[in-house]
């Protein structure tokens, strides 16, 4: 099929490249000329495992030609289905800001005014229930001067892609959710995903757009709450001197619980869990229901970095002392520092008057925008040299492999937020929940 994807963030670029890999002809539309040029040169604009190979395969001069990028919205006219993959940032009150989606829908609608045959628009971005039906569809209708269900159809297809493993998650999904408010839109979405379903046998959930929107929030709310619950349990374990990882290993054997997402520690970061939990709490409250469990999940998550710092305080007064922060990305495998637990940790260290020296294999440049004045080390060894304490924030292999490097510290106090380091003689070790 001929598919257009609007937006070249990590979701847009990933699905564009993956659709091309499934045999579709794909055009990726973005306002950023540099991103467009990068994709057209066969290179990737985002740090995402497996994406460089796919883009090179389909967009480079020697590639299949299945993927190209452009800044020109007119490109959608040569396609049958358009995926909207634009950002939905967070307002200060926690609600989602739909303005970028609204502007994109308007520009898309303006362009579709010229189209004489049927077109399906699929919302891929995470939006609160009702956004597709009550906001995006009316904008498309007004801007195109066309009638939904007659001239064009609208669907909602939430993504469940983790940063760092987005390509693998796309090509081997646990499920595919197709939300549509009319049959022709659903049929187009079925055609888009047919090659994927054929090769993976993934279960397909067909539903309306509101339910599809809610499934995305429910999925992330559940996962975020699961991590907060194991953190709450982990904090209880710590009070008793019990190892939370041993407890998690045992409860994970119950297949109603499952072993996944039971790693307690500093909690969740990233662009999704925090934003999505806040957005659905906010949207539900507007509907008249205040979700107590989700609010508690957010609170537990906010407390974990403070607990890490409090454990550090029990061992060292860090005023005017060198403190190594090991890991800045919100998780290993990405350079993304959005909502990283490193941010409250570094803020807490600065409040205490510490001299922070931070290390991360790939996320330094992104963190420099938040903290331009702290020291950044090229290697973990450099960060640890002369430090009074080390705080482990992200469990990159470069960090979990550390051992004798701690011997270069002034005082070898290791406060571990990710159960990354092995206890041994010569290190004063403090784990967050073990
Ligand atoms: C998450 C979801 O997992 C994806 O399914 C979803 O598509 C995506 O959000 C999104 O909405 O776009 P992502 O934010 O990339 O993906 O990261 P995860 O791998 O889910 O990890 C989230 C956070 O939870 C990380 O900070 C991680 O360190 C933390 N975590 C995860 C734990 O603290 N413990 C665990 O056991 C698992």
Which residue bears the tokens 């939300």? 179
Domain boundary among 206, 227, 248: 206
Report yes or no on 212 lying in a domain: no
Nearest CA to ligand 1 atom 29: 268
Task: Please say whether the dihedral angle defined by the alpha carbons of residues 348, 353, 354 and 356, taken in this order, is positive or negative.
Answer: positive
The residues pairing with 415 across neighbouring beta strands, listed in sequence order, are 391, 430
Rg (CA), the chain: 23
Query: Does residue 349 surpass a pLDDT of 90?
Result: yes
- From the list 361, 354, 433, the residue with the least C-alpha distance to 396 is 361
Q: Whose CA is nearest to atom 18 of ligand 1?
A: 162
Residues 299 and 412 in one domain: no
Bridge partners of 5, per DSSP, are 28, 83
Structural domain contains residue 416? yes
Distance (Å, rounded) from C-alpha 369 to C-alpha 259? 36
CA of 3 to the centre of ligand 1 (A): 28
Q: Are 58 and 43 within 8 A, CB to CB?
A: no
Confirm or reject: Cβ of 170 under 6 Å from ligand 1. Answer: no
Tell me the residue range of the domain where 22 lies.
Answer: 2-206
pLDDT tens digits, one per residue of 173-217:
999 999 999 999 999 999 999 999 999 999 999 999 999 999 999
Q: Per residue in 229-238, pLDDT tens?
A: 999 999 999 9
Adjacent-strand bridge partners of 26: 3, 67
**b/e code 227-264 from CB counts within 10 Å (16+ = b):** bbbbbbbbbebbeeeebbbebbeeeeeeeebeeebbbb
Domain end: 288, 303, 318, which one? 303
Index of the ligand 1 atom closest to the CA of residue 267: 33
Q: Cα(98) to centroid of ligand 1, in Å?
A: 23
CATH number, domain with residue 144: 3.40.50.720
223 lines ligand 1 (CB under 6 A): yes
- Ligand 1 atom 37 nearest Cα: 261
Q: Whole-angstrom Cα distance, residue 416 to residue 192?
A: 45
The string of DSSP codes covering 282-324 is HHHHHHT---HHHHHHHHHHHHHHHHHHHHHHHH---TT-EEE
**114 and 26 inside one domain:** yes
Q: Which residue has the tokens 């409090």?
A: 310
279 plus 309 within the same structural domain: no
Residue 211 host element (H or E)? helix 209-240
CA contacts within 13 A on the Cβ side of 82:
28
pLDDT at residue 89 above 90?
yes
Please tell me whether residues 164 and 18 are part of one structural domain: yes
Average pLDDT over the chain, rounded to an integer: 97
Q: Which helix (H) or strand (E) holds 389?
A: strand 389-392
Tell me: do 91 and 102 sit in the same domain: yes
Number of domains in the chain: 3
Per-residue model confidence as pLDDT tens digits over 350-394: 999 999 999 999 999 999 999 999 999 999 999 999 999 999 999
| Residue 163 Cβ contacting ligand 1 at under 6 Å | yes
The domain that contains 282 carries what CATH number? Answer: 1.10.1040.10
Q: How confident is the model at residue 407 (pLDDT cuts 50, 70, 90)?
A: very high
| pLDDT above 90 (res 247) | yes
**Active-site residue numbers?**
272
For a pocket test of ligand 1, which of 11, 87, 162 has the largest count of ligand atoms closer than 8 A to its C-beta?
162
Residues 298 and 316 in one domain: no
Could you tell me the distance, in angstroms and rounded to a whole number, from the CA of residue 317 to the centre of ligand 1? 33
Residues 383 and 294 in one domain: no
Q: Is 317 domain-assigned?
A: yes
Q: Which of 206, 226, 256 is the last residue of a domain?
A: 206
Please tell me whether residues 320 and 358 are part of one structural domain.
yes
CA-proximal residue: ligand 1, atom 8 (nearest)? 162
Instruction: Say if ligand 1 is within 6 A of residue 330 CB.
Output: yes
| 264 C-beta closer than 6 A to ligand 1 | no
What's the 61 CA to ligand 1 centre distance in angstroms?
35
Region 252-271: mean pLDDT is: 97
Same domain assignment for residues 291 and 308:
no
Is 238 close to ligand 1, i.e. is its CB under 6 Å away? no
Neighbours of 299 (CB within 10 A): 11
Q: Are residues 55 and 126 in the same domain?
A: yes
pLDDT at 60: 85
pLDDT band at 275; cut points 50, 70, 90: very high
The verdict on residue 408 lying in a domain is yes
pLDDT beyond 90 at 48: no
For residue 341, give the ligand 1 atom closest to its CA: 26
- Tell me the average pLDDT across 7-19: 96
Query: Residue 374's CB: how many other CB atoms inside 10 A?
Result: 18
Residues 260 and 387 in one domain: no
């Amino acid at each position: 099929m001929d598919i257009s994807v609007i937006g070249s963030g990590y979701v847009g670029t990933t699905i564009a490249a993956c659709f091309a890999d499934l045999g579709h002809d794909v055009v990726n539309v973005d306002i950023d000329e540099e991103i467009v040029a990068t994709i057209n040169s066969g290179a990737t604009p985002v740090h995402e495992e497996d994406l460089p190979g796919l883009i090179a395969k389909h967009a480079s001069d020697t590639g299949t030609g299945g993927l190209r990028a452009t800044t020109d919205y007119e490109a959608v006219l040569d396609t049958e289905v358009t995926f909207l993959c634009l950002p939905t940032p967070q307002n200060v009150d926690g609600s989602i800001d739909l303005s970028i989606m609204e502007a994109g829908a308007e520009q898309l609608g303006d362009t579709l005014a010229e189209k004489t045959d049927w077109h399906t628009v699929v919302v891929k971005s995470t939006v609160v229930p009702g956004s597709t039906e009550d906001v995006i569809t009316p904008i498309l209708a007004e801007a195109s001067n066309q009638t939904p269900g007659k001239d064009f159809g609208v669907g909602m297809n939430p993504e469940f892609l983790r940063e760092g493993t987005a390509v693998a998650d796309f090509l081997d999904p646990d499920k595919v959710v197709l939300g549509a408010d009319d049959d022709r839109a659903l049929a187009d979405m079925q055609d888009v995903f047919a090659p994927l379903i054929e090769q993976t046998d993934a279960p397909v959930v067909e539903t309306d757009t509101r339910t599809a929107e809610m499934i995305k929030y429910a999925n992330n709310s559940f996962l975020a709450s699961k991590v907060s619950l194991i953190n709450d349990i982990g904090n209880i374990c710590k009070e008793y001197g019990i190892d939370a990882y041993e407890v998690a290993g045992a409860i994970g054997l119950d297949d109603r619980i499952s072993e996944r997402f039971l790693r307690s520690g500093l909690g969740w970061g990233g662009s999704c869990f925090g934003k999505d939990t806040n957005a659905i709490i906010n949207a539900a409250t507007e509907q008249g229901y205040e979700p107590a469990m989700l609010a508690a999940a957010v609170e537990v998550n906010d407390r974990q970095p403070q607990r890490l710092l409090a454990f550090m305080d029990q061992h060292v007064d860090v005023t005017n002392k060198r403190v190594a922060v090991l890991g800045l990305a919100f998780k290993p495998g990405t350079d993304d520092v959005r909502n990283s637990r490193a941010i409250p940790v570094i803020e807490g260290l600065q409040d205490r008057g510490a001299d922070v020296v931070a290390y991360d294999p790939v996320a330094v440049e992104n963190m420099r925008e938040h903290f331009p004045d702290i020291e950044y080390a090229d290697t973990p060894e450099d960060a640890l040299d002369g430090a009074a304490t080390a705080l482990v924030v992200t469990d990159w292999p470069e960090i979990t492999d550390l051992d004798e490097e701690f011997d270069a510290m002034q005082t070898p106090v290791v406060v571990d937020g990710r159960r990354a380091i092995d206890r041994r003689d010569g290190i004063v070790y403090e784990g967050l929940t073990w």
